[in-house]
Amino acid sequence: MKSTTHISEMSFEELLEESARIHGHLCAGQVLGVRLAMLGLGLLGIDDPKGRDRKSFMVYVEIDRCATDAIQSVTGCSLGKRSMRWMDYGIMAATFVHLKTGKAYRIIAREESRELSKKYCPDIEDRYKCQLEAYKLMSDDELFDVQEVRVEVPECDLPGRPIRRVQCESCGDYVQDCREVEKDGKVLCRACAYGAYYKKL
């Protein structure tokens, strides 16, 4: 049975607990990710991200760290649903895109919040525990910078069934979602066109 609980009906602590359960532990990155996701959904006016609003938005994440699991937990977006895109920038940031209105906001974790955390929890000597607790207390403005942006989402990147599926003329693998490459008059997968991350044994 699907949950009918809207994001606005869940407390921050409940969202954090669920995120930590999925991620495997509670850390400062989880706190940041939950806070970031709550802010992003609020900016887009998304109240029911796992229910009626689930096809209305996408999230682009820029880092493969703890916060991304938290963002997935809160929003319900995932790579498998094609509602989450991973941009390998190494930046603690995410962009929330409303697919119906075109509104988009990029939210970046402020580096200054690490140092500011000491003022919130001066009695906690361990810096990671200090950040974890302080990030629960700090304001959105202290934690994040928000940029209104424009994101052109290609049709091939939208959630839903693949637009096309073609066979690589070199290795024979099938390529979905317009990821094939035309090179030297052939239709190739990216591994054959540019080199693979793996080596066949």
CA dihedral 153, 157, 160, 162 (to 10 degrees): 140
- Cβ neighbours of residue 51 closer than 8 Å, sequence gap 6 or more: 2, 3, 4, 6
Look at strands 104-109 and 144-148 and give their pairing: antiparallel
- Cβ neighbours of residue 41 closer than 8 Å, sequence gap 6 or more: 7, 47, 49, 74, 75, 96
| Residue 2 binned pLDDT confidence (cut-offs 50, 70, 90) | very low
- Unique residue bearing structure tokens 């820029």: 62
Q: The whole model's pTM is what? A: 0.90
Q: Which pLDDT belongs to residue 6?
A: 58
Q: Quick count: other Cβ atoms within 10 Å of Cβ 37?
A: 29
Q: Which pLDDT belongs to residue 167?
A: 98
pLDDT in tens, 6-52: 565 678 989 999 998 999 899 999 999 999 999 999 999 999 999 99
